[in-house]
């Protein structure tokens, strides 16, 4: 009874909005994310993610998820049988002019979301290296319990990057935390115009409630004890 009541209270404070977002993307950045989903095991997973950047905004999500969602939208399929699970199930929108983020994540077929400002505080460093053919500089930041090193290139003067990382004088090509629990690495840059469409109902709530719902869902559906290792620790 206690669980049922708390669930009713949780969903009663959620606001539901239909979020339709369309824009033209001119450049697509493909990253590989290597990450540890369980903090007690030295086992790493991989996911290929795409950052689609337009004139004023961008969208970042798993490539497989993007392609599947495009099929569902174009063919007007409401329910896809045997829908695959994705290791990274979030979609992140950035308004590059307003420096704002909309974070969404699907948990048990419900898309939750919240808005927040882009609030990275960067320490620019003097080290240099080349990633693919791009000249890069490094920078450091701390964000919600983890310390990160990033490599960005002024060759592409776009203040964006994977996940919520943004605000540097160039495109971020690599990101990793001190323990390398999370490591984004550039795989490919594609310059090809395409229309981006996102059209889903989003249950807006706050960040901590989304984390709670993920933990509850994982514990409910796993036969083992789940030692949650989120990218944002606090």
pLDDT of residue 11: 38
Contacts for 91 with CB less than 8 Å, ≥ 6 apart: 59, 60, 61, 65, 104, 105, 198
Strand duo 123-131 + 194-204: pairing: unpaired
pLDDT of residue 10: 37
pLDDT of residue 232: 93
The mean pLDDT values, 10 residues at a time, for the chain of 234 residues are 36 54 93 88 91 96 75 53 63 94 91 93 98 98 98 98 98 97 98 89 90 83 69 90
pLDDT of residue 4: 33
Give the Cα separation of 84 and 65 in Å (integer). 9
Q: Which two tokens stand for residue 12?
A: 């009663």
113 burial type by CB count under 10 A (0-12 exposed, 13-18 middle, 19+ buried): buried
Instruction: Provide the CA 213 distance to its chain's centre, in angstroms.
Output: 17
pLDDT of residue 6: 36
Contacts for 49 with CB less than 8 Å, ≥ 6 apart: 30, 31, 32, 33, 60, 61, 62, 63, 88, 162, 184
Q: Could you tell me which CATH number the domain at 2-221 has?
A: 2.50.20
């Amino acid at each position: 009874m206690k669980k049922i009541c708390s669930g009713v209270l949780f969903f009663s404070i959620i606001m539901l909005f239909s979020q339709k977002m369309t824009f033209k993307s001119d450049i697509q950045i493909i990253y590989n994310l290597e990450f540890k989903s369980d903090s007690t095991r030295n086992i790493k997973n991989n996911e290929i993610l795409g950052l689609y950047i337009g004139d004023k905004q961008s969208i970042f999500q798993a490539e497989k998820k993007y392609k599947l969602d495009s099929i569902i939208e174009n063919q007007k399929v409401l329910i896809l049988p045997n829908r695959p699970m994705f290791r990274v199930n979030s979609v992140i929108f950035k308004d590059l002019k307003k420096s704002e983020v909309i974070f969404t994540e699907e948990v048990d077929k419900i898309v939750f979301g919240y808005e927040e400002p882009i609030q990275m505080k960067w320490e620019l460093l003097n080290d240099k290296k080349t990633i693919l053919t791009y000249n890069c500089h490094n920078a450091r930041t701390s964000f919600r319990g983890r310390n990160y090193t990033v490599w960005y290139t002024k060759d592409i003067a776009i203040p964006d990057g994977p996940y919520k990382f943004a605000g540097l004088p160039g495109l971020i090509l690599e990101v990793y935390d001190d323990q390398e629990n999370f490591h984004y690495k550039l795989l490919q840059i594609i310059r090809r115009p395409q229309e981006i469409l996102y059209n889903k109902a989003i249950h807006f709530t706050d960040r901590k409630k989304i984390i709670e719902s993920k933990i509850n869902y994982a514990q409910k559906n796993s036969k083992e004890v789940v030692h949650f290792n989120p990218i944002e620790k606090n």
